[in-house]
Structure 1
Amino acid sequence: MGRWEPGARERLVAAAVDLFTEQGYDATTVTQIAERAGVTKSTFFRLFPDKRELLVAGQETLSRLLGEGIADAPADAGPLAAVADGLRRASGALGPANRELGPRLKAAIAASSELQERDALKTVGLAAAMTSALLARGVPDATAQVAGELGVLAFKRGYARWSEGSRDTDEPLEPYALAALDELRAASAALR
């Protein structure tokens, strides 16, 4: 595969996840990732500052989509209804390649404390994006924070179920994320 062919970012992420799973995060080099992806080492560094950042590829886009979905929710939508709109918007950006990557990514993260830390930072960033969008809608601070955290948890739970589900269908992520949000809404009501 030529170094100028499209999809270098996606190929690098898939190659890294596979290598992290096969030989461990610490044993995997940038050179190995670039070779597996069919790109040069300089292409790697043009797209990512280091191998750890491969894990959060697309986080900025995901944060933006979550925030835009919340911002564009109807004016009378409550905080969790707005979060649901954010989940709908972000879910639409994830397709079959993301679904295939899910279980491998989960295994790679589970095997590396450094990747677990980076994944936790990603979660914080997504929650902050949703909280900020809710605050901009006039939602009180504590409510916005709780709704943002529930949104991230719903996204992660929905993504896990979707990516571990049957590959025989082309079903989208959206119903999984929304079902997870409904479950969390019911669970939070039971906390009283």
Structure 2
Amino acid sequence: MGRWEPNTRERLAKAAMELYAERGFEQTTVAGIAQRAGLTERTFFRHYADKREVLFAGSGELEALFVRAVAEAPGGLGPLGALAVGLDAVGEVFTGRREFARQRQAVIAATAELQERELIKLASMAAALAGALRERGVEAPDASLAAEVGIAVFKVGFERWVEAADERPMGDVMREALDGVKGLVR
């Protein structure tokens, strides 16, 4: 094995996803992932804390992007309008990543431990969004409610986008889900 190979992180993620699909998450080991990628376990741990992190590695950055987009949305927008700006920003991150998102979703859906981790991630995101909305002047109970609606839209929109047969951008699917919520409220 060479000391340095390009795209190491991506190779590890690809190998992990292949093994998760073949063997299941619980039966996949870090050693197996490293071996499939042609790397060492030590190299794996330079890039990921554990095998779960292959699935959740970008969570912090995604949350930060979502929150920043909501915080920086034009001032005249209400809470749902600001969340729509955030959903658009998040949708851009997934451009060209539908297949990875599908694989990731399948692994998480098959493993209770990962489902719990996903829910914790979404709860953290909701709390951060509520904080951003409060900073925009939205009162506390309304900010929390709007943030939870935003997370529900993200979750449902993401699931629809992953399962869709067409190749519409994720942002379009998110906007459609948000319009559905607005329709329910009317």
CA deviation vs aligned residue, 1:105-142 (integer Å, no higher than 9, x gap): 22211221111111111111221221121111121111
CA deviation vs aligned residue, 1:144-191 (integer Å, no higher than 9, x gap): 111111112212222222222236x4x42111111111112322x16x
Q: Secondary structure at the match of 1:92?
A: helix
- After superposition, residues 140-151 of structure 1 pair within 5 angstroms as 140-151=139-150
Are the equivalent residues in 2 in contact too, given 1:2–1:38 (CA < 8 A)? no
Q: Which runs of 5+ in 2 are unaligned?
A: none
Match of 1:23 in 2: 23
Match of 2:128 in 1: 129
CA deviation vs aligned residue, 1:51-79 (integer Å, no higher than 9, x gap): 12222121111111101110111111100
Pick closer, same or farther for the CA change 1:180–1:8 going to 2, 3 Å: farther
- After superposition, residues 159-170 of structure 1 pair within 5 angstroms as 159-166=158-165, 169=167
> In the alignment, does 2:48 pair up with 1:48?
yes
CA–CA distance in structure 1, aligned partners of residues 128 and 148 of structure 2? 10
CA–CA distance in structure 2, aligned partners of residues 161 and 2 of structure 1? 41
Give % identity.
Answer: 44
CA–CA distance in structure 2, aligned partners of residues 181 and 139 of structure 1? 19
TM-score, normalised on structure 2?
A: 0.89
CA–CA distance in structure 2, aligned partners of residues 151 and 2 of structure 1? 46
- After superposition, residues 89-104 of structure 1 pair within 5 angstroms as 89-96=89-96, 98-104=97-103
- After superposition, residues 1-192 of structure 1 pair within 5 angstroms as 4-96=4-96, 98-166=97-165, 169=167, 171-187=168-184, 189=185
Aligned partner letter, 1:182: D
Aligned partner letter, 1:132: G
Are the equivalent residues in 2 in contact too, given 1:94–1:173 (CA < 8 A)? yes
CA–CA distance in structure 2, aligned partners of residues 58 and 2 of structure 1? 27
TM-score, normalised on structure 1?
A: 0.87
CA–CA distance in structure 2, aligned partners of residues 173 and 182 of structure 1? 14
Residue 3 (structure 1) shift: 6.3
Q: How many residues align?
A: 186
Are the equivalent residues in 2 in contact too, given 1:92–1:174 (CA < 8 A)? yes
CA–CA distance in structure 2, aligned partners of residues 3 and 111 of structure 1? 35
CA deviation vs aligned residue, 1:2-41 (integer Å, no higher than 9, x gap): 6634433333333323322221211110011122234332
Q: Secondary structure at the match of 2:103?
A: helix
CA–CA distance in structure 1, aligned partners of residues 56 and 4 of structure 2? 23
Q: Secondary structure at the match of 1:87?
A: helix
CA–CA distance in structure 2, aligned partners of residues 164 and 64 of structure 1? 26
